[in-house]
Amino acid sequence: MARPVLIAPSILSADFARLAEEVAALEQAGADFLHIDVMDGHFVPNLTIGPPIVAALRKVTKLPLDVHLMITNADAFIAEFADAGADYLTVHVEACPHLHRTVQSIKERGVKAGVTLNPATSLNTIEEILPDVDLVLIMSVNPGFGGQTFIASCLQKTASARAMIDRTGSRALLEVDGGVKIDNAAQVLAAGADVLVAGSAIFSTRDYAATIAAMRAAGQPSSTTPLRVSAHR
């Protein structure tokens, strides 16, 4: 049975001067999550938003808030983002020396916990934590800026992550973020992704609903054939 295709527009590419309107449009267009990129200017070379924006978004939408913490000291801000209304908090394995403790801290606050890896980080780094997480995020660009080009080798990494999740019996969603567009969505979904994060691919179009529908339709069996899995990296 085919897995449902979930679409998570990244508000990094939205018009922040009319953010509430943008979110309402995404709801009407059929988005499944709102993906919120939090950057600290240290772990990644960009500075974006903090808990007040998450809290503001929580007031105007019922969509799950998928908060991606691209920050050096995630542990210091978990409580603030949880209180702001995050439904998912995803942390980078590269930035969390005590990953199990961080994941447990997220879950103790009633928030779903995710882990993410940069393109050059091996899947081996999440194997031990996999039973404890609700989401695995594969970065298909080096994080920091929207509008980057998808790194093709991340397709195989996504397929290997899918195999690892299935082999261990984990119920974690598999999400892919970075350079995902209509023309490569079928490949990403064939590799095993459950959730597609898309920023400029959605917000650069006039018809959000048509773009989201096209990305979701890319998951139909006729779109492409599954990517063959090799041993994980």
56 lies in some domain? yes
125 lies in some domain? yes
Return the structure tokens found at 233. Answer: 């990296």
Share of the chain above pLDDT 90, in %: 89
Using pLDDT thresholds of 50, 70 and 90, give the confidence band for residue 229: very low
Question: Collapsing DSSP states into helix, strand and coil, what is residue 144?
Answer: coil
What's the pLDDT at 233?
38
20 lies in some domain? yes
As a whole number, mean pLDDT of residues 59-82 equals 97
Domain of 70? Answer: 6-217
Give the residue with greater pLDDT, 148 vs 53.
53
233 lies in some domain? no
Buried b (16+ CB within 10 A) or exposed e, 97-120: eebeebbebbeeeebbbbbbbbee
120 lies in some domain? yes
Q: Catalytic: which of 32, 37, 40, 66?
A: 37
Told to judge if 87 belongs to the known catalytic residues of this protein, a careful annotator would answer: no
Told to judge if 177 belongs to the known catalytic residues of this protein, a careful annotator would answer: yes
With CA atoms as reference, report the closest residue to 121 among 95, 84, 149, 150: 95
As a whole number, mean pLDDT of residues 37-53 equals 94
- Residues contacting residue 36 through CB under 8 Å, at least 6 positions apart: 10, 11, 49, 53, 54, 57, 65, 66, 67, 68, 86
CATH number at residue 96: 3.20.20.70
Question: Collapsing DSSP states into helix, strand and coil, what is residue 209?
Answer: helix
Q: How many CB atoms lie within 10 A of CB 128?
A: 10
Q: Specify the number of domains making up the chain.
A: 1
As a whole number, mean pLDDT of residues 10-21 equals 96
Q: Catalytic: which of 32, 134, 177, 194?
A: 177
Q: Would you say residue 15 has pLDDT above 50?
A: yes
Using pLDDT thresholds of 50, 70 and 90, give the confidence band for residue 232: very low
What's the pLDDT at 225?
46
CA 46 to chain centre: 18
Largest CA distance in the chain: 46
The whole-chain average pLDDT of the chain stands at: 93
Using pLDDT thresholds of 50, 70 and 90, give the confidence band for residue 145: confident
Q: In the chain, where do the E strands start and end? A: 6-9, 34-39, 65-70, 88-92, 112-117, 135-139, 173-177, 195-198
Using pLDDT thresholds of 50, 70 and 90, give the confidence band for residue 143: confident
At 179, the amino acid letter reads G
Distance CA 171, CA 158 (A): 16
52 lies in some domain? yes
Express each pLDDT in 20-30 by its tens digit.
999 999 999 99
Return the structure tokens found at 14. Answer: 């939205």
Express each pLDDT in 169-226 by its tens digit.
999 999 999 999 999 999 999 999 999 999 999 999 999 999 999 999 998 876 454 5
As a whole number, mean pLDDT of residues 126-146 equals 93
What's the pLDDT at 187?
97
160 lies in some domain? yes
71 lies in some domain? yes
Please give the model's pTM, rounded to 2 decimal places: 0.93
Read off φ and ψ for residue 125, nearest 5 degrees.
Answer: -70, -15
